[in-house]
Amino acid sequence: MSAYLITGVSGSGKTTIAAALSKLGSTAIDMSSIKGLSSWIDSSGVSCKRPPHTTTEWFEVHRWVWNLEALEKLLKEGETSGPLFLCGNANNMADAYHLFDRIYYLKIEEPIILQRLQSSSRLSDFGRSDAERRQVIEWIETLDTRMAHASAITIDGNQPINNVVDSILRSIKASDHDHHS
């Protein structure tokens, strides 16, 4: 089974892309929707809940992380005839890069992210406060650097979701074709 990570900052479209891929018949999972797969932790590594009104100071001592054992178990036990798409982001995701055949990075411009974070149709409530939006903007630069080091395939996340999904699927198909030629 091939496993692909689709990542980007909050508001980049990961959840929407997971839904679009699922609608097309692919196995796609929004990682934040699986209980026990990701959580906030404090500076001592203890799991905690994000308060309703986060502050910049709160983000200085808390991180969103994946439970790597749960992720490895999900990938080992994943029963799918086609590729598995995992859509998510975490502070410790570099520790999981080796689990994926390829990483896709949804690069998106700041004004579009800010617009999406404040959208009433957004499924996640993360990004609604000023502190959360500032944190997301800070994460853009960090993630840009991390994705370059991870040799991620950058996808223009500013385009309509269907175009983003098509770009990802075309990339996989082209890579599969290259490997079988």
Query: Which tokens hold the place of 47?
Result: 């799991």
CB 41 within 8 A of CB 47: yes
Region of 168 on the Ramachandran plot (φ > 0 left; ψ -120 to 50 alpha; else beta): alpha
Q: Which domain holds residue 22?
A: 3-180
- pLDDT at position 180 over 60: no
> Quick one: pLDDT at residue 99?
95
Residue 104 reports pLDDT greater than 90: yes
pLDDT per position as a tens digit, 5-59 = 999 999 999 999 999 999 999 999 999 889 999 999 999 999 999 998 888 899 9
Residue position matching structure tokens 């699986």: 34
**pTM > 0.85: yes or no:** yes
Number of domains observed in the structure of the chain = 1
Distance of alpha carbon 95 from alpha carbon 71, whole angstroms: 11
For residue 114, the one-letter residue type is L
pLDDT 10s digits, 60-84 = 999 999 999 999 998 988 776 788 9
Per-residue pLDDT averaged across 74-96, rounded? 89
pLDDT at 149 over 90: yes
Query: How far is Cα 16 from Cα 151, in angstroms, rounded to an integer?
Result: 24
CATH of the domain at 174: 3.40.50.300
Residue 176: predicted pLDDT = 66
pLDDT of residue 68: 96
Alpha carbons 24 and 6: distance in angstroms, whole number: 16
